[in-house]
Amino acid sequence: MTYNPQNIFAKILRSEIPCDKVFENDHVLAFKDITPKAPTHILVIPKGYYTDVLDFGARASKEEITAFSRAIAKIAKAENLESEGFRSITNTGLNGGQEVPHYHMHLLGGKKLGAMVCENSTGQLNLPDDAQ
Ligand code: 5GP
């Protein structure tokens, strides 16, 4: 898939639209999801333009990949997700229900989440309704 620089997260990265930022460094930006599916719902994105996890894995530098993993660990700690646990989800493509074509990781927590995949869900996160 060709990267579309008009996607919403690219606009956030260029500060064309606002976000509720929780973390930023040279390679990573993290902000609150606009429609949270759990008490804590953070989106972690690389600053580089990658469409999805496959594109990121194929083209990102070692520095970017390391920075992304380290950022997730830092954010989980800062947001108090460490002790009680949380879920990290990356949707990819059509079957994964990916809505925004810029690679991102969802961090969800703050309560006990339901089943990982809801059989009759049509939602983007494939989370059961009672996970909210
Ligand atoms: P996906 O379905 O691609 O895995 O997840 C995209 C996520 O981006 C959704 O959870 C959606 O709520 C979130 N989102 C979409 N537009 C915006 C926006 O403008 N700002 C923020 N903060 N989140 C957004």
Q: Is the pTM of this model over 0.85?
A: yes
Q: Are 73 and 32 in contact (CB under 8 A)?
A: no
The predicted structure's pLDDT at residue 122: 55
The CA 126 to ligand 1 mean position distance, Å, reads 14
How many angstroms does the Cα of residue 77 sit away from the middle of ligand 1?
22
What share of residues in the chain are helix, strand, coil (percent, to 5)?
A: 30, 20, 55
Which whole-number Å values give the CA distances from 21 to 6, 36, 44, 96, 110, in the listed order? 20, 14, 10, 25, 18
Phi, psi of 29 (to 5 degrees): -130, 140
User: Using CA atoms, how far apart are residues 118 and 111, in angstroms rounded to an integer?
Assistant: 17
- Mean pLDDT on 6-33: 98
Decide whether any atom of ligand 1 lies within 6 Å of the 51 Cβ. no
Is pLDDT at 132 greater than 90 in this prediction? no
Percent over 90 (pLDDT), the chain:
86
Residue 129: is its pLDDT beyond 80? no
Q: Is the CB of 97 under 6 A from ligand 1?
A: yes
Residues catalogued as catalytic: 104
* For the CA of 32, the nearest atom of ligand 1: 22
User: Is the beta carbon of 8 within 6 A of some atom in ligand 1?
Assistant: yes
**Of 99, 73, 100, nearest to 88 (Cα)?**
73
Whether pLDDT at 123 is above 70:
no
CATH of 8-131, one of 3.40.50.720, 3.40.50.1000, 3.30.428.10, 1.20.58.1610: 3.30.428.10
Rg of the chain's alpha carbons, rounded to an integer?
Answer: 14
Domain parsing of the chain, residue ranges: 8-131
Which of 20, 27, 70, 65 is CA-nearest to residue 43? 20
